[in-house]
């Protein structure tokens, strides 16, 4: 055994020689969301000097409400990006589902729950359609979802005939998620709570179930996953269907948040969700990242926009800041990935 001890001693010595920079790299390699959490805390600290109202319960609650929609979409987007895919149609699916819900309830007089179920079915079906094109027709996710983004957007406008359904025309059921939960000075809405519960369920599934492990394996190295006996196409299909379901649930959050269903809303959701995922430390190359990072990423974008607004900074600079955040996040990801080799 002396020989193997020698080897481990040598390895231990090698590890002991790691510089601080390497230690940070190794830490981020293991927990990619740490850097985004640091950025979040740092941003909260800085923006508190920009305006005294920033760190008030009222404002923080507002940030969470503003973040909930992107956070929810980003949850589904994370699943897809973990498999090394991308979904450019996520926002379009959510808006499509929200119009289906609102219009069948208001125009066709369906009961709220039935309209809701139909919207969920349509959103899930849209996700399944993406998944089918990717796994059965073997098209790249980028192309598929670029195409379906246009298709779903057009279907939405066509179906809604360009008309927004206002809050007075909507059943209380649809506005329910906009109601605040009394929690001291904080005003967390049921929508925010739903998003957090969604993240908890996804985090559990990704971390503790075989399905979650297969999602990572498929994104990490699809051929290795296939040869290891994982039914790769089935995993991919399940991811796109689950994501479609999440986008459909998000449409409920959207209606609750803006108290209306508009075919023209949510145009930024597609790209903003990718922003949140990337800032949250999930690798666009797949197989690496944590779902909670995306929630943190969504909150960071919300904090930046809100904090800069309160500090009286022009909207252009906010967009500029988000751009810098994205590039920084991806640079860090590239640097982290080197630690593995």
Partner 1 sequence: MSNSVAPVLEAKNLVKNYGRVVAIDGADLQLFPGEILAVVGDNGAGKSTMIKCLSGAETPDGGVMELDGKPITFRRQKDSRDAGIETVYQTLAVSPALDIAANLYLGREIRKKGPLGSIFRMLDNSGMKKSAKEHITSLGIGTIQNMSQAVETLSGGQRQAVSVARAAAFGQKVIIMDEPTAALGVRESGQVLKLIQSLREKGLAVILISHNMPQVFEVADRIHIQRLGKRVAVVTPKSHTMNEVVAVMTGALTLEEKDQTLGPIR
**Smallest distance from the beta carbon of 339 to partner 1, in angstroms?**
8
For β-strands 260-261 and 186-189, DSSP reports them as unpaired
Cβ-based nearer residue to partner 1, 211 or 335: 211
Do 61 and 186 form a contact (C-beta atoms < 8 A)? Answer: yes
Residue 4 binding partner 1, by CB under 8 A? yes
Pick one of 191, 287, 293, 307: the residue that binds partner 1 (CB under 8 A). 287
Residue 230 binding partner 1, by CB under 8 A? yes
Alpha-carbon distance of 69 to 43, in angstroms, equals 21
Pick one of 106, 288, 290, 308: the residue that binds partner 1 (CB under 8 A). 288
Stretch that binds partner 1, among 113-121, 213-221, 255-263, 265-273 (CB under 8 A): 213-221
Nearest to 263 by CA among 332, 169, 164, 195: 164
Of 150-209, binders to partner 1 (CB under 8 A) are 204, 208-209
Size of the site for partner 1 (CB under 8 A): 30
**Smallest distance from the beta carbon of 220 to partner 1, in angstroms?**
5
Q: What are phi and psi of 165, to 5 degrees?
A: -100, 120
Stretch that binds partner 1, among 120-128, 133-141, 229-237, 300-308 (CB under 8 A): 229-237
Pick one of 214, 240, 257, 294: the residue that binds partner 1 (CB under 8 A). 214
Residue 216 binding partner 1, by CB under 8 A? yes
For residue 53, count CB atoms less than 10 angstroms from its CB and return exposed for 0-12, middle for 13-18, buried for 19 or more. Answer: exposed
Buried b (16+ CB within 10 A) or exposed e, 117-138: ebbbebbbbbbbbbbebbbeee
For the CA atoms of 47, 48, 53, 57, what is the dihedral angle to 10 degrees?
100
In angstroms, what CA-CA distances link 9 with 1, 23, 239?
A: 12, 19, 43
Residue 217 binding partner 1, by CB under 8 A? yes
Binding interface with partner 1 (CB under 8 A): 1, 3-4, 7-8, 11, 204, 208-211, 213-214, 216-217, 220-221, 223-231, 287-288, 340-341
């Amino acid at each position: 055994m002396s020989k193997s001890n020698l080897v481990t001693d040598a390895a231990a010595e090698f590890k002991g020689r790691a510089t601080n920079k390497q230690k940070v790299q190794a830490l981020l390699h293991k927990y990619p969301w740490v850097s985004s959490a640091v950025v979040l805390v740092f941003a909260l600290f800085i923006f508190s000097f920009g305006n005294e109202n920033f760190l008030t319960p009222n404002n923080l609650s507002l940030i969470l409400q503003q973040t909930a929609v992107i956070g929810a979409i980003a949850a589904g987007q994370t699943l897809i990006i973990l498999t090394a895919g991308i979904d450019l149609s996520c926002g379009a699916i959510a808006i499509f589902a929200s119009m289906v819900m609102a219009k069948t309830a208001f125009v066709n007089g369906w009961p709220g729950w039935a309209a809701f179920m139909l919207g969920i079915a349509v959103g899930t079906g849209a996700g399944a359609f993406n998944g089918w094109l990717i796994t059965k027709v073997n098209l790249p996710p980028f192309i598929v979802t670029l195409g379906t983004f246009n298709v779903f957007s057009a279907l939405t406008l066509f179906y809604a005939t360009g008309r927004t359904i206002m809050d007075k025309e909507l059943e209380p059921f649809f506005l329910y998620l906009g109601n605040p939960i009394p929690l001291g000075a904080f005003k967390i809405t049921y929508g925010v709570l739903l998003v957090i519960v969604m993240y908890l369920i996804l985090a559990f599934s990704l971390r503790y179930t075989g399905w979650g492990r297969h999602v990572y394996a498929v994104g990490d190295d699809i051929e290795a996953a296939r040869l290891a006996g994982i039914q790769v196409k089935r995993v991919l299909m399940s991811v796109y269907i689950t994501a479609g379901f999440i986008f459909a649930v998000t449409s409920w959050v959207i209606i609750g948040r803006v108290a209306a269903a508009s075919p023209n809303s949510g145009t930024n959701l597609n790209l903003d969700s990718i922003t949140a995922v990337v800032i949250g430390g999930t690798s666009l190359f797949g197989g690496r990242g944590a779902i909670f990072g995306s929630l943190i990423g969504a909150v960071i974008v919300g904090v930046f926009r809100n904090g800069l607004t309160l500090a009286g900074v022009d909207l252009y600079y906010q967009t500029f800041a988000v751009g810098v955040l994205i590039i920084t996040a991806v640079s860090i990801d590239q640097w982290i990935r080197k630690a593995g080799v």
